[in-house]
Amino acid sequence: MQKTVKDYIRTIPDFPHEGILFRDVTTLFADARGFRMAIDQLLHPYAGARIDKVVGLEARGFILGGAIAHQLTKGFVPIRKKGKLPGRTIAQGYTLEYGEAVMEVHEDAIAPGEKVLIVDDLLATGGTCEAGIKLCERLGAEVVGCAFVVDLPELGGRRLLERLGMKVHVLCEFEGA
């Protein structure tokens, strides 16, 4: 039987808090075939689409986004946690499963009118990606899509992003939080 992307992802119970089933994509990244499969499948819906930059959300989105940007021969833009970028930045606060945080992007990372694809490993509540979308749009970009390896549908992130008008692409889903 041929493996799917989901087969490469391990579940770690009670991390980072009791009752949480953490979906660990590092096992996917560590397997050459699994990683290539994920990158190819994340790219597939955007074949032929105009994309100027790939945006990766900290931290595992950097791994995926960098590989996708390489495949597309496009630039890569990291959106990072507050205080991690050395240049002038703009910031966006958001809520996530376990609290609140602030994301930043360099103010010159994306030019007005550029089309961007946002990439991350996991879609839970959608707060991190929503902050990324807002940062990109504040810089004048058009977000052409949001791509994730894993969706946790019970947490409602996909519904949130679709209400914002985003096209959402996910490779697999896991039930539970």
36 closest CA partner among 74, 5, 76, 9: 5
Active-site position among 10, 33, 97, 142: 97
Question: In whole angstroms, what separates CA 13 from the centre of its chain?
Answer: 22
Active-site position among 60, 104, 130, 158: 60
What are the start-end ranges of the E strands in the chain? 10-13, 21-24, 53-57, 75-81, 89-96, 99-106, 115-123, 142-151, 168-173
Check if 138 is active-site. Answer: no
First to last CA, the chain: 28
Check if 97 is active-site. Answer: yes
**Residues recognised as catalytic:** 60, 97
